[in-house]
Amino acid sequence: SEFKIIAIDGGAAVGKSSTSKGLAERLDLMHVDTGAHYRTITFALLATGASPEDDLQDTLAALDLKTHLDRRTARLCIDGRVPTEVEIRSPEVNASVSKFAAIPAVRQSLFEYQRNQANVGREEGFRGLIMEGRDIGSIIFPDAQHRFFLEADEATRAARRAKEGQTDSIADRDKMDKARKTAPLVCPEGAIRVDTGPRSLEEVIEHIINLIGTGN
Ligand code: C5P
């Protein structure tokens, strides 16, 4: 049977990660967080002393990208190591991830890797995957069976990021992610918009499952 791909895009603090993780559990699918990919590459580049102004072509070409499956969560393993959550969510990574993510060579180095996650999922025996990010429904899997764009009002997002202790850089990152030339954050054409503001996490998950339909 067909391998199912569900794309979840949206800005920071709209509830993408909790929704994607919850959906992956409910639907028994592999979960791929591409924000974590950009954070992991940023962490690895910062560790080499690189800055976003450098010519990164050779450094990027030398990186060995593999996938480490943690139950249903696929993590990016660079040069034999999966950085910890603390490492990829540090203030340093928060402050520069959107700068690195705006560089075409950086996005190019992840493009094939991310497309190939469908093969990884298949080989691992999953029926499909949920991939979350900023350009999944627009660039990585424009042909996905289901594409959603999550949104929330500013007050809800502010409350969520305060709760996560993540008050730095989010508005700046959104601004940069929307303004960049390569793969900007947009609602992909034909994607279904989901307002997470007035809904609890469980309600968002239920709503999306209803939109996907039964028999899935
Ligand atoms: O999702 P998260 O907030 O962890 O993503 C961190 C950053 O990675 C985003 O602000 C964005 O700059 C970048 N990103 C991206 N494309 C994706 C996912 C994340 O450019 N598909």
DSSP H helices, the chain, are 16-27, 34-47, 57-62, 85-88, 91-101, 104-115, 117-123, 154-163, 170-179, 201-212
Residue linked to tokens 């992991």: 40
Residue-level pLDDT at 158: 85
Instruction: Say how many C-beta atoms besides its own lie within 10 A of residue 55's C-beta.
Output: 10
* Side-chain-facing half-sphere of 196: CA atoms under 13 Å: 28
Q: Do residues 5 and 184 touch, judged by C-beta distance below 8 A?
A: no
Instruction: Say how many C-beta atoms besides its own lie within 10 A of residue 107's C-beta.
Output: 20
Residue-level pLDDT at 215: 47
Residue-level pLDDT at 214: 56
SS3 label, residue 73 = strand
Residue 32 assigned to a binding site: no
SS3 label, residue 82 = coil
Residue linked to tokens 């609890």: 200
Residue linked to tokens 């940069």: 176
The tokens for 59 are 């450094």
CA of 132 from ligand 1 middle (Å) equals 9
Residue-level pLDDT at 165: 72
Residue 10 assigned to a binding site: yes
Residue-level pLDDT at 216: 44
CA of 215 from ligand 1 middle (Å) equals 32
Residue 105 assigned to a binding site: no
Ligand 1 site residues, Cβ closer than 6 angstroms: 12, 34-35, 38-39, 97-98, 101, 133-135, 173, 177
Tens place of pLDDT per residue across the chain (216 aa): 799 999 999 999 899 999 999 999 999 999 999 999 999 999 999 999 999 999 999 999 999 999 999 999 999 999 999 999 999 999 999 999 999 999 999 999 999 999 999 999 999 999 999 999 999 999 999 999 999 999 999 889 888 888 877 666 788 888 999 999 999 999 999 999 999 999 999 999 999 999 998 544
How much is the ipTM here? 0.99
Best residue among 9, 18, 34, 185 to mutate for probing ligand 1's pocket (most ligand atoms within 8 Å of CB) is: 34
Best residue among 14, 97, 175 to mutate for probing ligand 1's pocket (most ligand atoms within 8 Å of CB) is: 97
Give the predicted TM-score (pTM) of the model: 0.96
d(CA 208, CA 169): 29
Task: For the chain, list the domains and their CATH numbers.
Answer: 4-212 (3.40.50.300)
